[in-house]
Structure 1
Amino acid sequence: MRRSPWATLTVLALAQFIVVLDVTIVNVALPHIQTDLGFTPDGLQWVISAYTLVFGGFLLLGGRAADLLGPRRVFVAGLVLFGVTSLAGGLAGSPGLLIAARTVQGLGGALLSPAALGILTVTFPRGRERNIAMSVWGGLAGLGGTLGVVAGGFLVDSLSWRWVFIVNVPIVVALVAVTPLLVPHIKPHAGNRSFDLLGALLATGGLLAVVYAVVRAEPLGWSSAEVVGCLAGGVLLLVAFVLVETRTDAPLVPMRLLRSRALSSSGGAIALTGAGFLSMFYLTAIFLQQVRGDSALRAGVEFLPMGGAAIASAVLATPLIHRFGTRPVQTAGTLLGAAGLLLLSRADATGAYASQILPGTVLFGIGIIAVSVPAQIAAVVEVKDTDAGAASGVFTAFQQVGGAVGLAVVTTLATSRTTHALTTGATQSDALVAGFHRGLLIAAAFCAGTFLVTLFFSPRLAPTADQIAGAAAAA
């Protein structure tokens, strides 16, 4: 049966769309989730972190599973898991149940996303058609991030926060139904049939332990036995992960890739950038609603200019990289991102949106993409074609994991500042503003770290148009 490659692309791009959508759509629902389920301020960040940590930790394993078991089979399995856990999240009656659902949902995303990309690259031959397909794929993913905040606001205000999860279910059912008809079966790879499941479990378990310790440090103190024990256990698991990766025949993260200066510096830069992005999104969504009194829908609409700025930045980034190279564009992006966060950190409870919120979010939207696009290109442009997919997977894992760890640090310190302000007699609104300001300053510090990594460690690459197109195809 001959299938239209463009129909295949539609199914794959819609699946990726809901994976990206699920990060941003949840943010505007956080205040309502906190009130309804009784989340503590330091526990609320797990609604985001549980998803991103598991997604990043198992992303490379998902790609390996797609190679060995067949990408369409893994794609459908990931879709089903994503849909079932979306329903479970929407029906959750306690913080623990919601976090558990989000954790497994991240695993579903980690299975379907690399499988979808693998199908896409086989369906479209290298060249013009693949470039068009990748543009559609990337464009819909970006659109998912931009529209997610508005869709989330509309669902929360019109129905309830539960619908930001339940809305995935009919989409997943439809995609699962049409996949056998529109997506071709691709034979699994022959050769080494081993999975590095142990590596994925060690890496994700270690990162979860470290993030848990950071979050618990605010109420318990850094010297408490629970915090010290979790930190030590997390570090030991991560050390064990590195040892396993150097000894296994099919490593989750080929250590030779990390010896590439371009990939390792790009990974460090995108991890710090992800930390700044998730923190800014999380803090601002809560600030707009709990401090400024916006509805969920209005908060979502107020994020739209940032999404538009990011899309414009993505369009401009490629010709600028072709003309000036990766490092100058990335350096400029870090400065714009940091400037946006510093501007946003001056916002208060009553100031005008146009003067206090809009400039910072627009600058940040431009800057974040001006960092990520050249970093993505630099991550894969120097590796062999056979390693391009693995390098891209490592890069994306750095982004997700960095975002989750950074969010834990920022929310812990922001909550600490809010708590201290309340104990000294500040009003609830003033205390939340104080925590918001501290959190954004720490996020700006992450951008400063990106600037230093880019300036001192990133090579100045001048990729050709063909190399840029190839990097986009591996993204």
Structure 2
Amino acid sequence: MTERTDARPGLTLAAVAVVQFMVSLDLAVVNVALPRVADGLGFDAAGLTWVIHAYALTFGGLLLLGGKAADRYGRKRVLLAGLALFGAASLLGGLAQEPGHRVAARAAQGIGAAALAPAALALLAETFPAGRARVRAFGVWSATNAAGGAFGVLIGGILTEYASWRWVMFVNVPMVAVVLLLARRGIASGRPAAPAGRPDVLGGVLATAGMTLLVFGVVRTDRHAWTSAATLSTLAAAVALLAAFLYVERTTTREPLVRLGLFANRFVAGANAFNLLAGAAMTAAFYFMSLYVQHALGKGPAAAGLMFLPLSLAVVAGSVFAVKLGYRLTPLTLLIGGGLLTAAGLAWFGQIDAGGSFTGDVLGPSLVIGVGFGLCLGPIVATATTGVAPHETGTASGLLNSSRQIGASLGLAALGTAANHRTGRSTTPEALTDGYALGLTLGAGLVVSAVLIAVAVLPRGGAPARTEHDDHHEDSSSTTPLTAGGR
């Protein structure tokens, strides 16, 4: 147990709340700025997706390693290191002069987030171990998580239009400064919670490198055919790295990132498969609709951010409905219903045309998708930790977030490539819209596939769904976060 003699719970809660708001904000704030980023730095259509890939791959690939490092080396120490890297990367990303600079900064941000997010939530669980104080603390955490995501697109639009696209990166710097001040004054320097085990750094590097090469190979098919030597060699290298990751996880003498036997649990396997496909579809949808609103409908970044606000608020509303329904319906039922609603909304989005309107082409589908996806969030978390031993609950939770981030990158790579193939070299609103519509329609297919996997893999029985909120209150053993990536 970590000794804590100088902790100030109020300041710890404030620090963790700002961290969660910042991480959640960062996942959303960049989307609306993408067209201006492309114009400012000279990104092409395929290269622009790496602004998202770079963050999602490093965040998702290293999240489990970050949680284990926090246990091994001390939560405060890892939190401060992650914050320093995240803040420096945000500053450098805002100052970027070349596409490669921006992508590298986003990758560094993801590494920092993978360290600070699990450390922050572990500190919160440790500082508020039980009782009403714990309920209030996690209520604040949940509220800041939702607020960061809900208002990220709006803030991103306002900053992009009235300041500069660079400010979607710069905005993190003052928040990092505030958290560093709060952490220094309010978080105790306790002993590591798990000093005996050494994190499996090699496994984390192999997994991240393998996924990055896989995405790179898919994205480059707009220039190199699937059967070309360049594509086949890249994909073969990716498979080799991922196979090496599996071998290391089975044989390492260090603490593995994830025990592979965990996937024998049907709840874990089904929830993560659902999460990966849903994350793929939702990330691609945000990407395509941000470009559609600005390129086809001709809206500015601020107006685009405002147009996305109903979707974010609908996700919050869907999460509330899940709480109300969760004690009468099983998680599987909610996943099926929420997934089908989400797929229907994406299919509706797939009907966009260059002469569309906000009401008919954006607002209606946004509300359907938001409510549907919100219905899925709590049941996914409840399902992913069902039947898991208490000492592995944190790992199962972190795995869920990793699958969402990795799915986001893989989905955007595949759907973005398909959209680019449909668009070709044309830059007319009509051609671009055809590409976006195809990507959104394929996203609907991914969510339908997720529902079918859930039906095939997840057991029919089980208790009514617990929500993410309930899991935090009931399980004090979890030390790996359900981050903003879980939105």
Q: Deviations over 1:355-392 (max 9, x none)?
A: 22111011111111212220111111321221111110
Q: Deviations over 1:41-70 (max 9, x none)?
A: 011000011101100000000001100110
Q: Residue in 1 aligned with 2:446?
A: 446
1:471 shift after superposition: 5.2
Q: 1:384 aligns with which of 370, 377, 389?
A: 389
Q: 2:398 aligns with which of 368, 393, 400?
A: 393
Question: Which residue identity is paired with 1:324?
Answer: L
Q: Residue in 1 aligned with 2:436?
A: 436
Q: Residue in 2 aligned with 1:108?
A: 112
SS in 2 for 1:381: coil
Q: Does the 8 Å CA contact 1:377/1:471 hold for their aligned counterparts?
A: no
Question: Which residue identity is paired with 2:437?
Answer: H
Question: Which residue identity is paired with 1:5?
Answer: P
* Aligned: 1:353 with 2:358: yes
SS in 2 for 1:55: helix
What CA distance in whole angstroms lies between the structure 1 residues aligned with 2:435 and 2:134?
46
Q: Residue in 2 aligned with 1:469?
A: 470
Q: 1:35 aligns with which of 39, 51, 72?
A: 39
1:195 shift after superposition: 1.8
What CA distance in whole angstroms lies between the structure 2 residues aligned with 1:330 and 1:106?
29
1:287-436 pair list within 5 angstroms = 287-419=292-424, 422=426, 428-436=428-436
> Which segment is superposed worse, 310-319 or 291-300?
310-319
What CA distance in whole angstroms lies between the structure 1 residues aligned with 2:336 and 2:252?
37
Question: Which residue identity is paired with 2:355?
Answer: T
Question: Which residue identity is paired with 1:268?
Answer: A
1:236-251 pair list within 5 angstroms = 236-249=240-253, 250-251=255-256
Q: Deviations over 1:55-103 (max 9, x none)?
A: 0000000001100110001001000100000001000000011101111
> Which segment is superposed worse, 136-145 or 124-133?
124-133
What CA distance in whole angstroms lies between the structure 2 residues aligned with 1:276 and 1:464?
23
What CA distance in whole angstroms lies between the structure 2 residues aligned with 1:378 and 1:463?
10
Q: Residue in 2 aligned with 1:265?
A: 270
1:4 shift after superposition: 3.7
Q: Does the 8 Å CA contact 1:292/1:349 hold for their aligned counterparts?
A: yes
1:44-193 pair list within 5 angstroms = 44-193=48-197
Question: Which residue identity is paired with 1:470?
Answer: D
Q: Residue in 2 aligned with 1:253?
A: 258
What CA distance in whole angstroms lies between the structure 2 residues aligned with 1:357 and 1:319?
27
Q: Deviations over 1:100-136 (max 9, x none)?
A: 1111110000000000011011111134432332222
1:3 shift after superposition: 4.0
> Which segment is superposed worse, 130-139 or 251-260?
130-139
What CA distance in whole angstroms lies between the structure 1 residues aligned with 2:187 and 2:464?
33
Q: Does the 8 Å CA contact 2:326/2:465 hold for their aligned counterparts?
A: no
Q: Deviations over 1:20-59 (max 9, x none)?
A: 1111100000000101111010110000111011000000
1:10 shift after superposition: 1.3
- Alpha-carbon distance change, 229 to 465 in structure 1, aligned in 2, over 3 angstroms: closer
Question: Which residue identity is paired with 1:437?
Answer: A
What CA distance in whole angstroms lies between the structure 2 residues aligned with 1:430 and 1:465?
45
5+ residue gaps in structure 1? none
Root-mean-square deviation over aligned CA pairs:
1.6
- Alpha-carbon distance change, 255 to 141 in structure 1, aligned in 2, over 3 angstroms: same
- Alpha-carbon distance change, 277 to 452 in structure 1, aligned in 2, over 3 angstroms: same
1:191 shift after superposition: 4.8
5+ residue gaps in structure 2? 483-487
Q: Does the 8 Å CA contact 2:350/2:440 hold for their aligned counterparts?
A: yes
What CA distance in whole angstroms lies between the structure 1 residues aligned with 2:241 and 2:400?
21
What CA distance in whole angstroms lies between the structure 2 residues aligned with 1:289 and 1:407?
19
1:196 shift after superposition: 0.3
Q: How many corresponding residue pairs?
A: 470
1:467 shift after superposition: 9.8
SS in 2 for 1:28: helix
What CA distance in whole angstroms lies between the structure 2 residues aligned with 1:280 and 1:236?
31
- Alpha-carbon distance change, 388 to 94 in structure 1, aligned in 2, over 3 angstroms: same
> Which segment is superposed worse, 79-88 or 175-184?
175-184
Q: Does the 8 Å CA contact 1:381/1:471 hold for their aligned counterparts?
A: no
- Alpha-carbon distance change, 220 to 179 in structure 1, aligned in 2, over 3 angstroms: same
> Which segment is superposed worse, 81-90 or 352-361?
352-361
What CA distance in whole angstroms lies between the structure 2 residues aligned with 1:328 and 1:9?
35
> Which segment is superposed worse, 352-361 or 147-156?
352-361
TM-score by length of 2: 0.93
1:465 shift after superposition: 6.2
- Alpha-carbon distance change, 194 to 180 in structure 1, aligned in 2, over 3 angstroms: same
Q: Does the 8 Å CA contact 1:377/1:468 hold for their aligned counterparts?
A: no
SS in 2 for 1:366: helix
What CA distance in whole angstroms lies between the structure 2 residues aligned with 1:134 and 1:222?
47
1:152 shift after superposition: 0.5
Q: Does the 8 Å CA contact 1:417/1:434 hold for their aligned counterparts?
A: yes
> Which segment is superposed worse, 65-74 or 172-181?
172-181
What CA distance in whole angstroms lies between the structure 1 residues aligned with 2:74 and 2:97?
36
Q: Does the 8 Å CA contact 2:206/2:245 hold for their aligned counterparts?
A: yes
1:468 shift after superposition: 7.0
1:247 shift after superposition: 1.1
What CA distance in whole angstroms lies between the structure 1 residues aligned with 2:32 and 2:471?
35
Q: Does the 8 Å CA contact 2:342/2:373 hold for their aligned counterparts?
A: yes
Q: Residue in 1 aligned with 2:485?
A: none
Question: Which residue identity is paired with 1:284?
Answer: M
What CA distance in whole angstroms lies between the structure 2 residues aligned with 1:307 and 1:120?
25
What CA distance in whole angstroms lies between the structure 2 residues aligned with 1:286 and 1:189?
45
